[in-house]
Amino acid sequence: MSGPAPIRVLDFGQVMAGPLAGRLMADVGAEVIKIETPEGDSMRGRPPLRDGHSAYFGTLNAGKRSVVLDLKTDEGRRDAFALALTADVVIENFRPGVMARLGLGYEALSAANPRLIYCAISGFGQQGEGAKRPAYAPMIHAASGLDLALMDFSPGAERPAPTGMFYADVMAAVYAWGAIQTALFERERTGKGQSVDVALMDSLISMMIYEVQEAQFPQARKRHVYIPVKTSDGFVIVVPLSGKNFAAMLSVLGAPEWGDDPRFATPAGREANWAEIMRHVEGWTASRSSDACEQLFMAAGVPCSRYRTVSEALADPVSVERGIVGTVEDGAGTFSVPNPPFRLSQTDAQVRRMIPALGEGTAEILGALTSAHEH
């Protein structure tokens, strides 16, 4: 006996947030059909490139099929609409209103397919003034308060740090994925689909648990932050939070007299004077390697980690044992991408191997539509 048909996802996503939500659907077994223009998703040209194939694109789109549709033509829109009638989920991250103008918005598709779950990802939501704004992750990082909050953690910083990692896109993709699961579960109960509206701005604001409260209830003292301390060849972070941790750290340091300072006698006192404590600690770590510091502190029961590169983190035996990355394949060969950061005991949750070539599924998937219509 064959099992139930997989959830079919029509992924109109482009660049990052939409495609990553679609990839997470593929990771848990959905059939994800990526709709691309004849030129393909722009991420196909983004480095790192190997023999013309983008590993960046591959990370975001592994496990999908690719169907080329020109939504600027009547035929392309007609085929997209027909595909949506066969879908359980639509994901898109165009600017609000674009899909509706193409005749592919939630109202039009849900009228024809009432079980459809339609997930739209945008910068500021689908309605109101914000829907009119362009929205790229670096703008959201600036607009949300995140960048200034991070700047506030760095004494002496004169401007916010440059943006290189697009947290807003990743957070929105993960929230979209979770909201889609909720909508699928609700459909099991009611038989009805619904629209899902995910905003990058909301996603980043939700990440700032303390800062949202501090904005309402300003504190006399700045928030406690953890500080890197210099070693002979890099940095470590030392986190002696409890009294036991602090005593163990002093023992490793040779029980220096500054450890008896009454300011450091309580957790609240240590937190208030953290920078001063770390200045003393750095006097000890600066002449030792990061590895030595980490090993000595951890052996004594003091939470500590050296600062590692991404390459080092991936090669860590713990990462390897966990299966933190999986192997995927495109026209240039195989490489590793992060697996979903969860494991399920009954569901195979891992990145699927094949990355779609542009339009590789067009004939087969549209052909199946035509065949079904004829029958």
Task: Give ∠ CA 65-192-7 in degrees, rounded to 5.
Answer: 20
Residue given tokens 């592919």 in the structure block: 104
- Per annotation, catalytic residue among 169, 197, 202, 330: 169
Q: How far apart (Å, rounded) are the C-alpha atoms in residues 127 and 109? A: 18
Cα 212 from chain centre: 21
Q: How far apart (Å, rounded) are the C-alpha atoms in residues 155 and 291? A: 27
| The pair of three-digit structure tokens given for residue 83, joined into one six-digit string | 């595909």
Cα 295 from chain centre: 31
For 333-345, b/e burial (b = at least 16 CB within 10 A) is eebebebbeeeee
Would you mind telling me the total number of residues written for the chain in this entry? 375
How far is CA 58 from each of CA 169, 260, 291, 357, rounded to the nearest angstrom? 16, 55, 34, 10
How far is CA 210 from each of CA 149, 158, 225, 238, 240, rounded to the nearest angstrom? 10, 23, 12, 22, 21
| The pair of three-digit structure tokens given for residue 51, joined into one six-digit string | 């023999």
**169 flagged as catalytic:** yes
Q: How far apart (Å, rounded) are the C-alpha atoms in residues 334 and 330? A: 7
Cα four-point dihedral sign 210, 213, 215, 221: negative
Beta carbons of 182 and 190 less than 8 angstroms apart = no
Beta carbons of 54 and 45 less than 8 angstroms apart = yes
- Spatial CB neighbours of 157, under 8 Å, sequence gap ≥ 6: 151
- Rg, the chain, Cα only: 25
Query: Does residue 91 sit in helix, strand or coil?
Result: strand
User: Which of the residues are catalytic?
Assistant: 169
